[in-house]
Amino acid sequence: MSHRPEYRETIKTVLGADATFSSYTQISAWANAVNAEVMPAWFVATPREQPSRSAHGQSQRVTDLIVGLKRLGGDAIEDALDADAVVIERLVIGALRTRERDCELTVIDIKTDGGAEQRVGTLTLTFRITAWMPDPALS
């Protein structure tokens, strides 16, 4: 199995097992629209990777892993998303950081859309995973 699907599956498992997110709906990261009926909802994606050769016989892979969350809320929606971000950061780094692989949070992005009573908040966390593995050209 490629490492990118492994990263996504690991985080889906971790989020799905967590008391905070287990009742949320897992959605595709590439969904064009999300209905209010499925919120709160979360997604995981690995949209970008930068491979490089780090030494003879070894490559370095820097992968962006995105965890996104959508929820409905009112005036305090930003506070709720900030609380979600704290939990997601702990879960992702705890699941992916090892001796052979680094994982760090690089961006937290929050957007809100909608009226005063029912806002849709979107939280997006971008993690940078750096892994060292055998050079695929020598396999």
pLDDT digits (tens, 9 = 90+) for 50-75: 988 777 778 889 999 999 999 999 88
Pairing status of strand 41-55 against strand 101-114: unpaired
Question: For residues 43 and 137, which has the higher predicted lDDT (pLDDT)?
Answer: 43
* pLDDT for the residue 139: 62
- Is pLDDT of 1 > 50? no
For 69-106, write each residue's pLDDT tens digit: 999 998 899 999 999 999 999 999 999 999 989 999 99
Mean pLDDT of the chain: 91
